């Protein structure tokens, strides 16, 4: 009989590796499971920010934002409970310029219509504060927050408080000398909403992310994705100025602006830079030009992802599809003279496109 071959000695280091490897996998799996509830909580907060963006858009489009002339973070949560309460609030509204110059013929029913939109907008903001703060305290006390995330979450809480304060600062600009809020403050308020949404979404995606064996994404693709995200962010701010000075109500033709690709009155204000923020023609022209830039950059990014980053193809497809929808909504909103329904969808579409860019950039991140 043949003698059995001698067994190769198993070194102590190899034995240790065989024991540690499955333990490490179990540890990573447990760590991921413990992070998931926090990620879901942040995604719920993102959904609420999206809701307040939609309601805020309708509030702006219906000229409802100045219907509540006081900032009462706690008592303001209680709506009018009697006819006398309504009359008191209506009387306060009658003291501001918007009533005298725009809505002087408004009756109580008309006031109630605009009041409920602004109240709902503020109420969702209060709900976001509670939905964020209470779980934050619970996770913190229970020791459930992963290392390195505590101060990020505190930062989100501070940003949320600043966003509420910015909202009131914006409203104040329309209560004294003007019938509308400042386009600068409106754009800052809008931009902060996108900032809070984007940071929470990025953090949630990081908490949900598991280790992957996908190859590293080429640096050129990641740089292009960041540039596209930056251009979309500028597009959002540009849209804030379009909304702030009602630039969408002028030049309701496409692709030309009343027969011209480049209108003659782009720089009629002095100094020249004021046109970027105050000139209806320039503000709408800039918004269109940024859209054209995105119509070139987004397909280019999509093609590069298909070729060089297969793990992110789904996110790239979603981004490209959303761009088509968003551009179509923008054109339709313009051609139909900014109806509330289309304009609200267009504003909501901006945040959806922004979210898909956040998702894509996260998928392209180096492992």
DSSP 17-84: HHHHHHHHHHHHHHHHHHHHHHHHHHHHHHHHHHHHHHHHHHHHHTT-TTS--S--TTGGGSPP-SHH
In a domain, 18, yes or no: no
| Cα(197)–Cα(48) distance, integer angstroms | 9
Indicate whether 194 and 251 sit together in one domain. Answer: no
The kind and range of the H/E element at 168 are helix 150-172
Indicate whether 188 and 114 sit together in one domain. Answer: yes
* 3-class secondary structure, 143: coil
| Cα distance between the two ends of the chain | 54
Indicate whether 221 and 106 sit together in one domain. Answer: no
Contacts 24+ apart (CB under 8 A), 286-293: 286/238, 287/235, 287/238, 287/239, 287/241, 287/242, 287/247, 288/257, 290/231, 290/234, 290/235, 290/238, 291/235, 291/327, 291/330, 293/231
Rounded to the nearest angstrom, the gap between the alpha carbon of residue 108 and the centroid of all alpha carbons in its chain is 34
Indicate whether 307 and 220 sit together in one domain. Answer: yes
Indicate whether 151 and 231 sit together in one domain. Answer: no
Indicate whether 79 and 142 sit together in one domain. Answer: yes
Domain boundary among 209, 225, 248: 209
In a domain, 249, yes or no: yes
Indicate whether 251 and 316 sit together in one domain. Answer: yes
pLDDT 10s digits, 166-199: 999 999 999 988 888 999 999 999 999 999 999 9
- The two tokens of residue 115 are 């009041």
In a domain, 317, yes or no: yes
CA-based torsion, 330, 332, 333, 339: positive or negative: negative
In a domain, 16, yes or no: no
Across the chain, which distance is largest between two alpha carbons, in Å?
111
Indicate whether 93 and 194 sit together in one domain. Answer: yes
The pLDDT of residue 26 = 41
* 3-class secondary structure, 260: strand
Domain boundary among 178, 193, 209: 209
Bridge partners (DSSP) of residue 257 are: 260
In a domain, 292, yes or no: yes
Q: What percent of the chain has pLDDT over 90?
A: 83
Rounded to the nearest angstrom, the gap between the alpha carbon of residue 177 and the centroid of all alpha carbons in its chain is 30
Q: Which one has a higher pLDDT value, 362 or 8?
A: 362
138: number of CA atoms within 13 Å, CB side?
9
pTM: 0.89
Number of domains in the chain: 2
Number of other residues whose CB lies within 10 A of the CB of residue 284: 23
Q: Is the pLDDT of residue 3 over 70?
A: no
Indicate whether 45 and 127 sit together in one domain. Answer: yes
Indicate whether 231 and 331 sit together in one domain. Answer: yes
In a domain, 235, yes or no: yes
Residue tagged 């030049």 (tokens): 251
Indicate whether 300 and 330 sit together in one domain. Answer: yes
In a domain, 11, yes or no: no
In a domain, 26, yes or no: no
Domain boundary among 167, 191, 209: 209
The pLDDT of residue 366 = 62
Indicate whether 200 and 225 sit together in one domain. Answer: no
Q: Is the pLDDT of residue 86 over 80?
A: yes
Domain region containing 60: 36-209
The pLDDT of residue 333 = 97
DSSP 360: H
In this prediction, residue 41 has a pLDDT band, given cuts at 50, 70 and 90, of very high
């Amino acid at each position: 009989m043949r003698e059995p071959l001698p067994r190769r000695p198993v070194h102590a280091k190899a034995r240790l590796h065989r024991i540690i490897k499955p333990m490490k996998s179990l540890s990573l799996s447990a760590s991921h499971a413990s992070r998931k509830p926090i990620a879901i909580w942040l995604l719920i907060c993102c959904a609420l920010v999206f809701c307040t963006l939609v309601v805020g858009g309708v509030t702006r489009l219906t000229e409802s934002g100045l219907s509540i002339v006081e900032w009462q973070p706690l008592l303001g949560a209680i709506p009018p409970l009697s006819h006398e309460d309504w009359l008191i609030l209506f009387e306060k509204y009658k003291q501001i310029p918007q009533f005298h110059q725009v809505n002087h013929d408004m009756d109580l029913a008309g006031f109630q219509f605009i009041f409920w939109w602004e109240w709902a907008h503020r109420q969702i903001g209060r709900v976001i504060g509670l939905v964020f703060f209470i779980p934050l305290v619970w996770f913190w006390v229970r020791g459930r927050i992963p290392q390195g995330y505590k101060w990020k979450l505190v930062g989100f809480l501070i940003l949320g408080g600043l966003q509420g304060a910015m909202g009131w600062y914006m409203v104040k600009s329309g209560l004294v000398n003007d019938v509308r809020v400042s386009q600068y403050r409106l754009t800052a308020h809008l931009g902060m909403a996108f900032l809070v949404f984007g940071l929470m979404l990025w953090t949630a995606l990081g908490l949900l992310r598991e280790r992957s064996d996908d190859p590293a994404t080429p640096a050129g693709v990641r740089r292009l994705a960041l540039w596209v995200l930056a251009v979309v962010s500028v597009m959002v701010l540009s849209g804030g100025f379009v909304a702030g000075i009602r630039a969408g109500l002028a030049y309701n033709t496409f692709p030309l602006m009343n027969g011209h690709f480049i209108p003659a009155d782009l720089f009629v204000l002095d100094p020249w830079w004021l046109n970027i923020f105050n000139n209806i023609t320039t503000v709408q022209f800039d918004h269109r030009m940024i859209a054209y830039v995105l119509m070139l950059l987004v397909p280019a990014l999509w093609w590069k992802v298909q070729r060089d980053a297969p793990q992110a193809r789904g996110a790239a497809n979603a981004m490209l599809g959303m761009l088509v929808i968003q551009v179509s909504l923008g054109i339709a909103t313009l051609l139909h003279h900014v109806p509330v329904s289309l304009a609200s969808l267009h504003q909501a579409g901006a945040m959806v496109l922004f979210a898909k860019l956040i998702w894509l950039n996260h998928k392209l991140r180096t492992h």
